Amino acid sequence: MKILETRVYQGPNLYAHFPCIRLTLQLGALEQWPSARLPGFVDGLLAALPTLHEHTCSPGVPGGFVQRLRENGEGTWMGHVLEHVAIELQNLSGAKVTFGKTRGTGKVGEYHVVFEYEDARAGQAATDLAMRLLHHLVAVDIDLGVAREAGFAFDQELTSLIRQVQRRALGPSTLSLVRAAESRNIPWLRLNDYSLVQFGHGKWQRRIQATVTSETRHIAVELASDKQETNKILGDLGLPVPKQEMVYTVQEALRAARSVGFPLVVKPLNANHGRGVSVNLRSNDQVEVAFEKAKEHSRAVLLESFITGDDHRMLVIAGELVAVAKRVPGHVVGDGEHTVAHLVDLANQDPRRGVGHEKVLTRLELDHQADRLLAAAGIERDSVPAKDQVVYLRSTGNLSTGGTAIDLTDQVHPDNVEMAQRVAQAIGLDVIGVDFLTPDITKSYREVGGGICEVNAAPGFRMHVAPSEGKPRDVAGKVIDMLFAPGSPSRIPIAAITGTNGKTTTTRMLGHIFKMRGEVVGMTTTDGVYIDGRRTVEGDMTGPASAQMVLRDPSVSVAVLETARGGMLRAGLGYRYPDVACCLNVSGDHLGLGGIETLDQLAAVKRIPIEVARDAVVLNADDPLCLAMADHSQARHIWYVTQNPKNALVREHIRAGGKAVALEEGINGQMIALYDKGAHLPLLWTHLIPATLEGKALHNVQNAMFAAAMAAAMGCKLDDIRQGLRTFDTTYFQAPGRMNIFDGLGFRVILDYGHNPAAVQAMCTLVDRLVQGGQLGPKGKRVCVLAAPGDRRDEDIREMATLSAAHFDLFICRRDDHARGRDADEVPRILQKALHAAGVGNDRIIVEPGEVEALDKALAICQPGDLLLAFCDKISRSWKQIIYHHQQRGGAAPATTPAPVLTEDEDGHAAQLAAGLVRDERGVRIAKDTEED
């Protein structure tokens, strides 16, 4: 049994609308051994993981999975077992996950095992241990594909897994804040491996580090960390604090002890979680020992008078006391029968206790500190305490050292409430924990005494959200409400654009509309990440990582995200949902890659953002695969886009009050019109949109329609949409590689990134419309630099050639720089053969494999009045090659574009003209011009 591939989906994906891991698993010989046929396997598995009894599986009731393990004497296959074990190991490590599914891939013994995760690394670690456990439990003598692991101890490995996961997991305080944000529909992103978390997106974001917030003042944190200065400031305000002195040597400590007076507390100046703290010291010997322990954590040590009373943590948020917990140090209670060590073992069997922050309580430990307290009480680990005798193992009540907490929030005396709130105001912290010692919190400190032993700038929340006794308090919610007042925004609008062709141009159009109305737009495209029009990261940035770059940027007010197939297949979406999503079209591209073999499968991938969009989806009503996505949408509104005035479905949708964008014929040309709740809203003549080349580029007309629909769905006014579309063109600087036109050489050059049949078809249609519109010399020729990516199927490459065959006089076939596993000239040869099969003579086809060489040859061939369409991969390089070509030819660019006139030359080459091709003065063959052209 072997894992062939692991995919970690960060967000909505093909299998679920939340993070999942997908394993591609090959069972090998175990394909013939379902669970019930393996001797002892089921019993061994349930002995190792008895909590699997709680799994429902397909029967839908607890125990359902166990039924499947034994079903009909055969059981279930190992991929299904792996799914449940990986889920359960995560749950035992502190996660709360339930979803999983296992399906065959169509290959013998191969399965896709999918399961939910909270932390990706924890999910992968659980997978690794699950595999090892299953291999260990297989007792039959078969080839497992891996060496059997000698000395495998599952209990030890499980503990190790829990500790590993806990080191990476969010702490209980941070996790409670995340849960509170989720309950308020506030998005969050983890920014590092620790407790740095971003709440909200873009310009609305706030951050926390544990319980320190982005609103916490640095000077207040510094002050709270200086125990001596805190003591002085609070004392100067008349608040109850103990007498205190700071020392650096044991001699200074002994002198301070005499000055302050016994009993004493000795603690490090700047430690936390009760580390190095010793209390109720009554002799110089105890002070010396405590001083050395404190010095392990801090260079400076504090001695202060010991205040008698119970330890209370008072939590103040935004100036309001929101929770109070009485903290009881870690202890055991004698029963008159068992030793202290045995009582500790019994206490640790409490299901509420776990490793570190795994559970509500932390396991008790017998260590140096516990031994010191036992010795002070005159007992040892092997002593048997009397019945009901309380034996303390810690001197402080920190939950992280095994303490317990009792909620007393509703019982606090008003004077004590006022005191805690004054402390928060004095120190200046938005979130502060006040450690207050008093015999009775229900009575005023003025009456019964008490004192503030310290304050905390990053107080833990576990004792309040999950007290050992008493009412849990939603203190995390108070923090989130402080950061995001009810009704205030936390999200920026997110637009997701997917489809086969037109994604980048539509993304840029929509981004430009928002830019023109004053927004700071974060945009992801195939050539980079753009923030407010500046490219911050270069490369194909259409996946989840680039989306998160935009959402993390604190200046961004609108996110416009091109969302490509590859990113969704590899890692899902990088956010929970877009506000508006569109699918432009679905056509054959990248088929045969990533397990996507058919158009229906490709449509299912493109459908992911459509499924999770909340406010609106925009669909191509002229594309059946896009149209079918409407059935899977939960969005509040569906917009349809059509260029067919007779589209019956859109007509009925409009009559029913639905939303649509339609292309309508008018006396002045074609008009883009919006329909909304029965209203007809003319938007813009297509010839007024520069990107459409006076309406001739129909594919950009469609892209403009989608951009208009999405902008309208996101609340843009019609005038804003008009202004955006009227000022958007397809220059290299605004839309690199998308129908970039250069007329500076005396002939027209169109540079395009088209790399699939539909894109080639769209550009061929454009060339035809340009020719029909007179944008070619009377005898000008049409030249095409044709290519296809090497990872496309042979039939897709052939289709690109076939579609273009009837539209050009001369073809130069090339490959991309990266051949993607093919031979150097394999792609251009496939194109050549397909062109020939479509009726293009070999004398009209040139094979020039290199992109630079092919484009150079095409530029050299073209004469004034010609038209060159160059499909290129390296857009920036190719654009420079085009605009600087006149310098390479040794002359200035022509000031005008004269119409060429081809005549018989003086040597009488009329026969060559009649045959179809002549050579110019450079010896390059030129397609003949005929009256039919």
Can you state the angle between helices 227-236 and 414-427, rounded to 10 degrees? Answer: 120
User: What share of the chain in percent tops pLDDT 90?
Assistant: 70
DSSP code for 900: P
Please answer whether residues 94 and 358 qualify as being in contact, where contact means their C-beta atoms are separated by less than 8 angstroms.
Answer: yes
Tell me the two tokens of residue 112. 């896709």
What does the pLDDT look like over 731-754, one tens digit per residue?
888 888 889 999 889 899 999 988
| pLDDT score recorded for residue 909 | 34
Measure Cα distances from 687 to 38, 669, 748, 813, 859 in Å. 72, 7, 20, 33, 29
Per-residue pLDDT band for 777 (boundaries 50, 70, 90) equals low
| pLDDT score recorded for residue 358 | 53
Q: Which helix (H) or strand (E) holds 100?
A: strand 100-104
- Residue 901, classified by CB atoms within 10 Å of its CB into exposed (0-12), middle (13-18) or buried (19+), is exposed
CA torsion 271-275-281-283 (nearest 10°) is -90
DSSP code for 1: -
Please answer whether residues 615 and 575 qualify as being in contact, where contact means their C-beta atoms are separated by less than 8 angstroms.
Answer: no
What is the pLDDT averaged over residues 580-606?
Answer: 88
Tell me the two tokens of residue 625. 């695969």
Per-residue pLDDT band for 889 (boundaries 50, 70, 90) equals low
Query: pTM, whole model, 2 decimals?
Result: 0.81
Which one is predicted more confidently, 350 or 199? 199
Kindly report which listed range (145-149, 265-269, 753-757) carries the lowest average pLDDT score.
145-149
Which one is predicted more confidently, 748 or 924? 748
Q: Highest mean pLDDT: which of 34-43, 554-563, 814-823? A: 554-563
Give the amino acid at 238: G
What is the pLDDT averaged over residues 365-372?
Answer: 84
3-class secondary structure, 801? helix
Alpha-carbon span 158 to 155, nearest angstrom: 5
What does the pLDDT look like over 73-117, one tens digit per residue?
899 999 999 999 999 999 999 899 999 999 999 999 999 999 999
What is the pLDDT averaged over residues 222-234?
Answer: 92
